[in-house]
Structure 1
Amino acid sequence: MESGKIEKLLERYDEGKTSLAEENILREYFLNGEVPEHLRSYQLIFMFSAKQKNETMERSPWVRSAGTKRNWYSWTSIAAILIVALGVFFFNDSSRELNENDLGTISDEELALEKTKETLNMVSQFMNEGKADLVYLKEFNKTKNKIIQID
């Protein structure tokens, strides 16, 4: 077969645009004939694919069948349920419940007022930071309305 036609087919093969018939032509060319030196790498590719086509893989002993896998999943789900149940039963510690003594009450009214002001100021700062990001959302809605022409 002429070298020019094979090189055009190889270009299409490299781009992934060949049909199965064209690939069979290439395979036959590289497996059954004398190949020019600059195309030896393609010959190796087609020889390797032909060799791999005839090989079969034996079933590995550590691969389970579908029934065993399903059985394994059911046992792991039962084990997970048992672990969660035992965790809830044994680690449900009643000493962690809140007592009236643990509420962190402040007996001094002025100190309590100052702590409350500090807490509310901190919450206000976080709210204002979140509000600053809403300006971008407002601008986005204006632009969207112009595009959709809702205004």
Structure 2
Amino acid sequence: MELGKIERLLDRYDEGETSIAEEKLLREYFLSEDVPEHLRSYQLMFRFSASQAEEKLENKPKVVSKRNWYSWTSIAAILIVALGIFFYNDSSRMLNDNGLGTISDEELALQKTKETLHMVAQIMNEGKSDLVYLKEFNNTKNKIIQID
């Protein structure tokens, strides 16, 4: 086979545009012994691919079937539910209606309500203090937009 045709086929091979028949021609050419020195790297590549094609996989990898995995996960889920039911301590049955946090003294109830609302107001004000940064960001953004 002429060298110019081989080089054109190699260019097309590098671009991924060769057909299977053309690749077979290249493989046959490079498996022969009379290859020019500047094409020796292609000879190594085609010889390696030929040797890999002949090699057989002796130890097949062990594949866990999805069916087997599904059965084990369902068994584990059943065990978790069973243990949860067995060890579940229903403390709501032990509570009686008298001790549910009701305060009978009106002054004490008013004081506790004020403390709770004061705590909520502090938490809300902490979130509000962070909005100062957002306002500064908006001012800077407006300055940039006005420059353009």
Same fold (TM over 0.5): yes
Provide the TM-score with structure 1 as the length reference.
0.59
CA separation of 1:117 and 1:56: change in aligned 2, threshold 3 A: same
Call closer, same or farther: CA 1:31–1:118 in 2, change over 3 Å.
same
CA distance in 1, matches of 2:101, 2:4: 88
The 1:87/1:12 distance shift into structure 2, 3 A limit, reads: farther
**Based on CA coordinates, which of the two structures has the bigger radius of gyration?**
2
In 1: Cα distance, 2:6 partner to 2:100 partner:
85
- Structure 1's 19 and 94: CA in aligned 2 closer, same or farther, altered over 3 A? same
Confirm whether residue 63 of structure 1 aligns to residue 62 of structure 2. Answer: yes
Question: How much does 1:44 deviate?
Answer: 0.9
Q: Cα offset for 1:98?
A: 9.8
Change (3 A) 1:96 1:40: farther
**Mapping of residues 16-95 of structure 1, within 5 Å:** 16-60=16-60, 63=62, 69=65, 72-95=68-91
Indicate how the Cα distance of structure 1 residues 104 and 29 shifts in structure 2: closer, same or farther if over 3 A, else same: farther
Change (3 A) 1:5 1:84: same
Q: Percent identity?
A: 37
Q: Secondary structure at the match of 2:27?
A: helix
Point out where structure 1 has 5 or more consecutive residues left out of the alignment: 133-151
CA offsets 1:33-73 (integer angstroms, 9 cap, x no match): 4112221111111111111222221243x625xxx836623
SS of residue in 2 equivalent to 1:4: helix
Q: Which residue of 2 aligns with 1:145?
A: none
1:56-113 per-residue CA deviation (whole Å, 9 max, x = no partner) reads 21243x625xxx83662354034223322223213422248896757698x4524523
**How far apart in 2 are the matches of 1:104 and 1:41?**
88
Tell me how far 1:26 sits from its aligned partner.
0.8
Number of equivalences? 124
CA distance in 1, matches of 2:121, 2:25: 79
Q: Structure 1 counterpart of 2:76, which letter?
A: A
- Residue type matched to 1:27 in 2? R
Structure 2 residues without counterparts, runs of 5 or longer: 135-148
Q: Structure 1 pair 49/97, CA: closer, same or farther in 2 (3 Å)? A: farther
2:3: which partner in 1? 3
Normalised by the length of structure 2, the TM-score is 0.60
CA RMSD of aligned residues (A): 3.7
Query: Mapping of 1:127-138 within 5 angstroms?
Result: none
